[in-house]
Amino acid sequence: MEYICSTENPDLWERYVGDPSSAQTSAWLRKFLDASNVGFAVCDEELRYVLINDALAKMNGLSAQAHLGKTVQEILGDAAENIIPMFRRVFSTGESVAFELAAKLPTGSELRYWTAHLFPIKDAFGRVKQVGAVVVDVTDQKRSEVCFTERMQRLEALTEFSASLMSILAEQELLPSLSLFLQKVVPHDFASLTLYDESTRQLRVHALDLRIAGKPRSSDAAVAPTEVPYDAVFLHGETRFHNRDQLASSDSPILQQLLEAGVESICFLPLITRRKGTLGTLNLGRKQDNAFDPQDIPFLQQVAAQIAQALDHAAVYRENKELTHELNKEKLYLEEEVRSTHDFEELVGESPALQRVLGQLHTVAPSDATVLILGETGTGKELIARAIHRLSTRKDAPFIKLNCAAIPTGLLESELFGHEKGAFTGAISQKIGRLELADKGTVFLDEVGEIPLELQPKLLRVLQDQEFERLGATRTIKVNLRLIAATNRDLAKSISKNEFRSDLFYRLHVFPLRMPALRERSKDIPLLVRYFVQKFAKRMNKKIDTIPAEAMHALQNWLWPGNVRELENFIERSVILSQGTTLTVPLAELRTDHGPPQSSTLEDLEREHILRVLRETGGVIAGMRGAAARLGMKRTTLQSRMQKLGITREEYQN
């Protein structure tokens, strides 16, 4: 290799390199000078090149001879703005500096990347007279990193849009979203879908994006599945690419039409689902020849798979909607199949929210674990408790229920643990408590959050040791029972207010199970309506076989603050009002009872809140556990607010 040095410094070669044939030549310097990918140069105080190797000269796009005597500014142009300060820094501090550079050089048009290391060259007095530069071109590495980053961004976009596509249920809204999706993840000038129509046995073409001259045969057209190029893609699930030469040599009218429209590269991908097999094809075109890289095939196939899944999801929704429409043409078929397939008595529903609870129920029921059922009032917590008992190994033993909120505080301890004769005034005989009655079975404590603090340690002992004493007794009673508790209160808040013991909470919270509110499972409302109509019509010896579609729609769109219990009471009232075979639904109550669900005023919200608390307390206003105490106001104040808001007893006492 030839090394070029400034003619103004004839001793420069020997100063830095020495005789090339001499063994005195610095080995490390010769490595830099000989390396084809490592540039090396020396600049003086005026930043003029005095020594340069061929590798760096080639990076700069000029000969080595053309560099000598020229400044960094003259050689590198605008790129020198970021380099000159680094040279000045080395001259002023006498310390080496390393940095990265991205720039376009005057001799090139593309952005390139380098790493550079500048080091001082000092004279005998320690003064920096020159600066050496070691430069490595890392453009290929950077481009690989950029390519990787772009692929990651495309995958992120794929994930993001896939989630949004799955939320679109209407097919008329899906196609525009698919177009936007493709624009985000795949560069293209033309995009279309072909979807198989079973009624015509043809592929119908849907244009998604046309940014090419004219309009090829891609909008609202129909083609046979056996026609090229769709035959191999749709019938055999193959991915096909075509460049300009292949399009030009093809006899396919479709490919010829695309070529005439300006498409020079096109990719055809099958849209395959597990449920329906191949739905059709995804077709992407570019104006450039050989625009699709075979390395992108896996990503393009992922895109096609997401589009196929979104189309299938929309098709399932359409099919279900059509089926529901047919079933709800005012005809009500009162059959026992309306019950949940899990045979959980009145646990009617097929919504994901309810099915998730039933799945958890199946998991915990065979064990003896304590279960804490959470949920708003009227959601069916007791039904869940009974189902757990019935599916457990204790199903043949007693199921004992106790509503802790319905019994006065002074009597609750006696109800739980029992008492001996004479244990307190009025205890004229021995009483066996609910816990003793539940021996070898299950005890269900509803509204467990209402248990007074002074009783909570005794209940904790039962959970831990399975033993207790009756009131007024000294003998310890051993029991073998399973506890299921339920509450509509936030026990964590009760703990923070010192209204509930944390140790008892943790013992109850072994397996929490949350019942969804009816508003979270609105798709179950038609099933529940049919079930309750059947139940009450049979009880009242009536025959009701029709529900008006308007009524069903109104029932589905109501918020039901009292949940399933409120719906059940409303349907019972409707059956009572029905005189013929058509259900008479008092729709006016849904418009005025609790205020419109979508446009509530502050007064409506206050009224709704007071009604909910009154229902939860069973209509009790006064006392420590009455509605007034829960709302943080005096009894007289609450009664005044109820009168002002027009709240009647019939609204909260069913």
**Per-residue model confidence as pLDDT tens digits over 589-632:** 776 444 444 444 556 767 887 888 888 788 888 887 788 877 76
pLDDT-derived band at 344, boundaries 50, 70, 90: low
**Does position 16 have pLDDT exceeding 80, yes or no?**
no
Rounded-to-integer distance, Cα 374 and Cα 353, Å? 14
What band does 230 get if pLDDT is binned at 50, 70 and 90? confident
Determine phi and psi for 272, rounding to 5 degrees: -115, 135
Q: Is residue 338 assigned to a domain?
A: no
Is residue 521 domain-resident? Answer: no
Q: Name the domain boundary from 137, 164, 181.
A: 137
What span, in angstroms and rounded, lies between the C-alpha atoms of 528 and 609?
25
47 and 191 in a single domain? The answer is: no
User: For the ranges 154-158, 487-491, 495-499, 510-514, which has the lowest average pLDDT?
Assistant: 154-158
Please report, for the domain that includes residue 41, its CATH number.
3.30.450.20
| Beta bridge mates, 280 | 195, 271
Q: Is beta strand 112-122 parallel, antiparallel or unpaired with respect to 128-137?
A: antiparallel
**Do 289 and 362 belong to one domain?**
no
Percent of the chain with pLDDT strictly greater than 70: 82
Does residue 118 share a domain with residue 196?
A: no
pLDDT classification of 331: cutoffs 50, 70, 90: very low
Work out the number of other CB atoms within 10 angstroms of the CB of residue 21. Answer: 7
Task: Please check whether residue 333 lies inside any domain of the structure.
Answer: no
Please answer whether residues 105 and 137 qualify as being in contact, where contact means their C-beta atoms are separated by less than 8 angstroms.
no
Q: Please, what's the b/e burial string for 532-551 (b: 16 or more CB within 10 A of its CB; e: otherwise)?
A: bbbbbbeeeebebebbbeeb
The pTM is what? 0.42
CATH label of the domain that carries residue 211: 3.30.450.40
Q: Tell which residue, 165, 167, 87, has the closest CA to residue 121.
A: 87
Residue 4 and residue 33 in contact, taking contact as beta carbons nearer than 8 Å:
no
Name the more confident of 258 and 326. Answer: 258
- How far, in Å, are 9, 29, 49, 218, 555 from residue 19 at the CA level? 16, 13, 21, 73, 99
Domain boundary among 298, 320, 342: 320
The distance from CA 431 to its chain's CA centroid, rounded to whole angstroms, is 54
CA distances from 267 to 35, 189, 301, 303 (A): 44, 12, 11, 12
Report if residue 520 sits inside a domain. no
Number of neighbours of residue 109 by Cβ within 10 angstroms: 7
Q: Which residue has the higher pLDDT, 167 or 510?
A: 510
Q: Are 400 and 393 in contact (CB under 8 A)?
A: no
Collapsing DSSP to helix, strand or coil, 370 comes out as: coil
Together in a domain, 132 and 153: no
Query: What is the predicted pLDDT for the residue at 601?
Result: 56
Q: Using one digit for the tens of pLDDT, what is the confidence trace for 437-482?
A: 889 999 999 999 989 999 999 999 999 999 998 888 888 899 999 9
| 527 belongs to a structural domain | no
Cis peptide leading into 253, omega within 30 of 0?
Answer: no
The residue segments making up the domain with residue 462 are 352-514
In a domain, 44, yes or no: yes
Do 175 and 109 lie in one domain? The reply is no
Query: What confidence tier does 409 reach under pLDDT thresholds 50, 70, 90?
Result: confident
> Which among 165, 155, 195 is positioned nearest to 307, based on CA atoms?
165
- pLDDT tens string 561-580: 888 988 999 999 999 998 88
Q: Does the pLDDT at position 15 exceed 60?
A: no
pLDDT in tens, 173-199: 677 777 777 777 778 888 888 989 888
215 vs 76 pLDDT, higher one: 76
Do both 550 and 618 map to the same domain? yes
Does the pLDDT value for residue 13 go beyond 50? Answer: no
| Mean pLDDT along residues 515-542 | 91
Q: How many domains does the chain have?
A: 4
pLDDT for 645 beyond 80? yes
Q: Are residues 153 and 291 in the same domain?
A: yes
115 and 84, same structural domain?
Answer: yes
Last residue of a domain, one of 73, 108, 137: 137
531 by DSSP, 3-state: which? helix
Q: Same domain for 158 and 296?
A: yes
Which is more confident, 184 or 146? 184
Band of residue 415 on the pLDDT scale cut at 50, 70, 90 = confident
Are 468 and 564 in the same domain?
no
Instruction: Assess if residue 335 is contained within a domain.
Output: no
Q: Is residue 29 part of a domain?
A: yes
Could you tell me the CA-to-CA distances from 81 to 86, 89, 113, 306 in Å, in that order? Answer: 10, 13, 15, 48
Task: Tell me which residue of 348, 343, 373, 378 sits closest to 360, measured CA to CA.
Answer: 373
| 56 burial level (CB within 10 Å; 0-12, 13-18, 19+) | buried
Q: Are residues 110 and 162 in the same domain?
A: no
Is the same domain home to 169 and 265?
yes
Q: What integer pLDDT is reported at residue 339 of this predicted model?
A: 35
Both tokens of 330, joined, read 């005012």
| Rounded percentage of the chain residues whose pLDDT exceeds 90 | 29
pLDDT tens digits for range 87-113: 999 999 999 999 998 888 988 888 888
State the pLDDT at residue 109: 81
Between CA 347 and CA 387 the distance in angstroms is 9
